């Protein structure tokens, strides 16, 4: 059965809006660059849309989007303000 890819979306920062891509490289764990970064709270938990042992619900991250650039990842708030490129990669355990 043939498969047609309609669109590719990647989420460079966990729980933030992602980016549309024309092409992407695949690795053993999925799309290269997908969820390579995350926001960590003061207690060391990863901000997420759910609460688990590792994650804590922090709805405020949903107001941000992330896009890959040659210099790293740029995070943009819904109001249009941006953070400088993010360069520290999150390594899931």
pLDDT in tens, 30-84: 999 999 888 888 888 888 989 999 899 999 889 999 998 888 888 999 999 887 6
In a domain, 48, yes or no: yes
**List of residues 6+ apart from 71 with CB closer than 8 A:** 85, 87
Of the pLDDT bands very low, low, confident and very high (cuts 50, 70, 90), residue 89 is: low
What's the confidence (pLDDT) of residue 86?
56
**List of residues 6+ apart from 6 with CB closer than 8 A:** none
Give the count of domains, the chain. 1
What's the confidence (pLDDT) of residue 28?
93
In a domain, 75, yes or no: yes
In a domain, 93, yes or no: no
What's the confidence (pLDDT) of residue 25?
93
> For the purposes of burial, counting CB atoms within 10 Å of the CB of 34, is it exposed (0-12), middle (13-18) or buried (19 or more)?
middle
In a domain, 92, yes or no: no
> What's the pTM value of the predicted model, to 2 decimals?
0.78
List the strands of the sheet with 82-86, edge to edge: 64-69, 72-77, 82-86
Beta-bridge mates of residue 44:
none
In a domain, 91, yes or no: no
What residue numbers bound the domain in which 24 lies?
A: 8-86
């Amino acid at each position: 059965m043939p498969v047609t890819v309609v669109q590719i979306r990647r989420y460079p920062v966990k729980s933030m809006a992602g980016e549309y891509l024309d092409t992407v490289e695949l690795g053993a764990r999925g799309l290269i660059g997908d969820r390579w970064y995350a926001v960590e709270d003061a207690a060391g938990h990863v901000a997420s849309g759910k609460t688990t042992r590792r994650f804590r619900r922090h709805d405020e991250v949903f107001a941000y989007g992330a896009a890959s650039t040659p210099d790293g990842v740029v995070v943009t708030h819904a109001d249009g303000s941006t953070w400088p490129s993010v360069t520290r990669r999150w390594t899931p355990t």
